Chains A and B, each alone.
Chain A
Amino acid sequence: MSPTVFAQGHTPRIARTSARRSVIPGFGLTLGYTLLYLSLIVLIPLAGVFYKSAGLGLEGIWAIISTPRVLAALKLSFGAALIGATINAVFGTLIAWVFVRYTFPGKRFFDAIIDLPFALPTAVAGIALTALYAGNGWIGQYLEPLGIKVAYTPLGVIVACTFIGLPFVVRTVQPVLQDAEQELEEAAASLGANRWQTITRVILPTVLPAVLTGYALAFARAVGEYGSVIFIAGNLPMVSEIAPLLIIIKLEEFDYAGATAVATAMLILSFFLLLVINALQAWARRRHGGKP
């Protein structure tokens, strides 16, 4: 019998065994732990929201959500979060690029500053931003004569969303840029690419999945942001009132069902948008070689 025939005869059995028994043991234990943990920390509280709002029935929920004030708040919350995340995706990538590729005095200091929005109590950030952008603030006094009002307008909400989302993009893109081999740029240059072509066709596609991850994180954070936004927004109903604040207002009025209805709408919308971003990310990663 030739060795080939021998090997062929055994291949299916080997395949079956490996399917049954994993090389890495402990799958059952770790999966069980993961599910329990996720249930306790994430799923049960979220299910509580749905449970509470379910008492209203679909029509009841819709009646609450479709009021102009709630719609305006949802629109502002998601719109500002998306705009803020987009701004961060562009400038966060740029900042990450500068940190990875150049050395300059004070680089470590600025690198540390990036994380401040993570650590700062959001109320402090909100008050600081309001003081800066108010009509008599350091920045506001120059913008006001130009007809640009930031504090107490939707623009202020965008500013706050941008502020708190920045570290997410920088910190996700930075390591990927660091790993991107210098050789890729040299290869592109040796093939005749100029700087612009190298950046747009080689570097950006390489970091795109990381940028999208940062975008998703920044967006998620901005949608749920409360502390810093309410100080700068001014909270005028229909103009600069965000959805999380509306939930608090409803809670204070003991309108628990109304609060959970708005929360449900936010959850579903967020889930849908994050799903889209994830799909985009999977697509970008697949372009990196068949590994979704």
Chain B
Amino acid sequence: MDIRIRNVHKHFGPFIALGGIDLDIASGELIALLGPSGSGKTTLLRVIAGLEFPDHGQILFGGVDMARHPVRERRIGFVFQHYALFKHMTVFENIAFGLRIRPRNQRPSTSAIRARVLELLDLVQLSGLEQRFPSQLSGGQRQRVALARALAIDPRVLLLDEPFGALDAKVRKDLRQWLRDLHHKTGVTTIFVTHDQEEALELADRIVIMNGGAIEQVGPVDQVYEHPRTPFVFDFLGGTNVIAAELRGRRLWIGDRDIAVLHDSIHPSGPVDVYVRPGDLRLADDTAPGIQVEIQTVHRAGPIVRITARTEATGQPLSIELPHLHHDVPCFTVGARLRLRLMQFSVYPRSLHIPERTLPTPILIGRERTRVHPY
């Protein structure tokens, strides 16, 4: 079922939770709503579900406006962060609930319900646990029961509100992969809310980045990650270093060094901010071109080395992440003076430092393709 959202507004008192949302979701898509808390992502999900009603706007399910219909008429599957399983019912009864409460003339036979529940248990890999109570299951198992329960009514769209938020890191990773497979198998249009950018990037076909009740950027995962339209999106999708710079024509200057030529610049000369991820920085020896930095701390975290360095020109601290290689670690000693290279970065005009609601179209994406051998 495809879903179209048209100009949806929702206020809670003076607080604008959703300020005019437009979004098209194709049938069978797996889409993530990503944003910080208070960005309106959960409200949008609940409005689609019918657990909240919009102040105005349309929610079209396959062309039919459902905005005024209560949740039980929408045939959606909703999965809550804290599972919301019925504690007094067994796993079997939980999953069968949606079928058993149907009016007599629409209710499947007892044997059909049983077959459907067992089939779903198999799908969520919990066969044999149907007589357990929710309190006898682990968090990951409970969330899979909740998912099976939501799928039992054959929903037109599956909505998940931070489905893995209450689980520990390892289980969360496993369930992500598993949900991806499940979506592939069932093909149900799925929308999930998360504040974990890693989860959104790994799981979704497309991501919707929300901020302050508005959509900041929508697009396929790679596109949003590679071409963040605003500083907010850039910042939200991972660690960020912001370096003050100046654009003179097509040349980008940091301090008194001309560090790059931007081939696709559409921005006039003037002060800009360069946004660069810690993983897109490389250190080279003193003779190479680049910004002069001095290493402050070196900290090994599993497969990567985290380094903080200070630019010599302004004293600004920068964080750098390098893959850990045995032979180069000794070179990164505190106090060493090295050159910093920016492998990939985005440039935004200085005035956009604070992300705003109404942003012009993308400013400019700078990219330097030259590979520098990591020192």
Contacts and interface: CB of A to CB of B under 8 A. Distances in A.
Interface string A263-292: 000000000000000000000000111110
Nearest to B73: A192
Interface string A186-212: 111111111001000110011010000
Interface in B96-131: 97-98, 101-102
Nearest to B100: A201
A289 B133 CA distance: 5
Contacts of A288: 87-88, 133, 135
A188 B150 contact: no
A184 B101 contact: no
B136 A189 contact: no
A289 B142 CA distance: 13
B112 to A, nearest CB: 16
Contacts of A289: 87-88, 133-136
Contact of A193 (B72, B84, B85): B72
B362 interface: no
B135 A187 contact: no
Contact of B97 (A186, A188, A208, A291): A188
Contacts of B146: 187
Given A190-B49, A191-B149, A205 B88 contact: yes
Contacts of A287: 88, 133
Contacts of A187: 78, 80, 84-86, 146, 149
A181 B101 CA distance: 20
Interface string A155-198: 00000000000000000000000000101101111111110010
Given A205-B88, A289-B135, A290-B136, A194 B82 contact: no
Contact of A186 (B77, B84, B152, B153): B84
A95 B218 CA distance: 49
A192 B70 contact: no
A291 B136 CA distance: 10
Interface residues of A, number: 23
A213 to B, nearest CB: 16
Contacts of A192: 72, 75, 98, 101-102, 153
B51 interface: yes
Contacts of B82: 181, 183
Interface in B335-375: none
Contacts of B215: none
B191 interface: no
Interface string B177-188: 000000000000
A181 B146 CA distance: 15
Contacts of B101: 191-194, 197, 201
Contacts of A193: 72, 97-98, 101
Contacts of A181: 82, 84
Contact of A191 (B97, B134, B136): B97
Contacts of B75: 192
Nearest to A204: B88
B70 A189 contact: yes
Interface in A74-93: none
A286 to B, nearest CB: 9
A189 B72 contact: yes
Given A191-B101, A191-B149, A197-B101, A202 B71 contact: no
B87 A186 contact: no
Contact of A290 (B76, B77, B135, B152): B135
Interface of A: 181, 183-184, 186-194, 197, 201-202, 205-206, 208, 287-291
Interface of B: 49-51, 70-72, 75-78, 80, 82, 84-89, 97-98, 101-102, 133-136, 146, 149-150, 152-153
20 contacts: A183-B84, A186-B80, A186-B84, A187-B78, A187-B80, A187-B85, A187-B149, A189-B72, A190-B71, A190-B78, A190-B150, A191-B98, A193-B72, A194-B72, A201-B101, A205-B86, A287-B133, A288-B88, A289-B134, A290-B135
The 7 nearest A-B residue pairs measured at CB:
A289-B135, A191-B98, A289-B133, A183-B84, A190-B78, A187-B84, A205-B88
